[in-house]
């Protein structure tokens, strides 16, 4: 059975965690019913938005509320969830952290954003992660990336050279750089010969307008599904065999010469 992946593009309410959890729960239920989703993906910082100055009040302590929330819904609906990312408070530090939960309710990986985006002051309020985002989900060799990470092709390649066939990208990408969002995602798919599942947010906060346009892209760089700028969801069926076919047809991973790239 080929997985059906759904990106839920939310309009996140600035700093209102209770509203945002409730909204996500409603949309996950709808995705399961309406889209017959196998894997559901949420956007970046979907519990708080970019209310960074209040993270000492609203960040999720050790991620416990979010983990419990995702585990319960994954088990209830028998669906895998790539849980976007949330502000996780741990030892007086806050990371921008993605939790991946399988349909049995097991947390199979967590990834904290490596590249902090200084133009939105992340470095003043967040601590960078230190580990890769590699995981296996529903038989797919996968990697998680968060927003600004996609501007660093060497970081993406560090995952695909270790076998990642699907890149799950979650973001709060702003409208003024929509062209960059689409171009970078298409490039990452083509150059790594992999699927890119990119879930962005929509709407506005006190300082930003967000682009939406969540995307599902195949290993040839074809767009299988694209949202507009409004809240909603997109879905597509993917086939990991296509990754193997594309990589065998144009064997860039065999032809790499990393000794010359340093």
199 among known catalytic residues: no
Among candidate residues 147, 172, 182, 199, the one labeled active-site is 147
Separation between Cα atoms, residue 104 and residue 15, nearest integer Å: 30
Span between the terminal Cα atoms of the chain, in Å:
41
Annotated active-site residue 147? The verdict is yes
Cα dihedral 184→186→187→191 (10° resolution): 150
Which helix H or strand E contains 249, and what residues bound it? Answer: helix 240-249
Q: Are 105 and 74 in contact (CB under 8 A)?
A: yes
β partners of residue 87? 96
Three-state DSSP class for residue 94: strand
| Angstrom distance (rounded) from CA 143 to CA 251 | 21
Give me the catalytic one of 27, 44, 110, 199.
44
Catalytic, 113? Answer yes
**Torsion 25-29-34-35 (CA) sign:** positive
From the list 27, 88, 113, 182, the catalytic residue is: 113
Q: Looking up tokens 């910082």, which residue turns up? A: 45
Which active-site residues does the annotation give? 44, 113, 147
């Amino acid at each position: 059975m080929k997985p059906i992946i759904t990106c839920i593009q939310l309009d996140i309410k600035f700093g209102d965690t209770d509203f945002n959890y409730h909204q996500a729960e409603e949309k996950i239920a709808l995705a399961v019913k309406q889209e017959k989703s196998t894997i559901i993906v949420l956007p970046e910082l979907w519990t708080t938005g970019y209310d960074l100055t209040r993270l000492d009040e609203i960040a999720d302590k050790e991620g416990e509320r979010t983990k419990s929330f995702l585990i319960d819904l994954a088990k209830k609906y028998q669906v895998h969830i790539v849980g976007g990312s949330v502000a996780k408070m741990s030892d007086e530090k806050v990371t921008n952290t993605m939790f991946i939960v399988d349909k049995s309710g097991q947390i199979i990986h967590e990834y904290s954003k490596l590249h902090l985006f200084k133009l939105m002051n992340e470095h003043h309020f967040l601590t960078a992660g230190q580990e890769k985002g590699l995981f296996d989900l529903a038989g797919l060799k996968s990697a998680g990336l968060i927003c600004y990470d996609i501007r660093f092709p060497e970081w993406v390649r560090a995952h695909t050279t270790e076998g990642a066939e699907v890149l799950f990208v979650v973001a709060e990408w702003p409208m003024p750089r929509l062209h960059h969002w689409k171009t970078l995602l298409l490039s990452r798919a083509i150059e790594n010969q992999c699927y890119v599942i990119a879930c962005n947010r929509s709407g506005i906060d006190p300082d930003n307008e967000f682009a939406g346009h969540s995307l599902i892209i195949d290993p040839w760089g074809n767009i299988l599904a694209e949202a507009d700028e409004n809240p909603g969801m997109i879905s597509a069926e993917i086939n990991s065999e296509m990754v193997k076919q594309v990589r065998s047809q144009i064997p860039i991973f065999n032809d790499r010469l990393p000794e010359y790239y340093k």
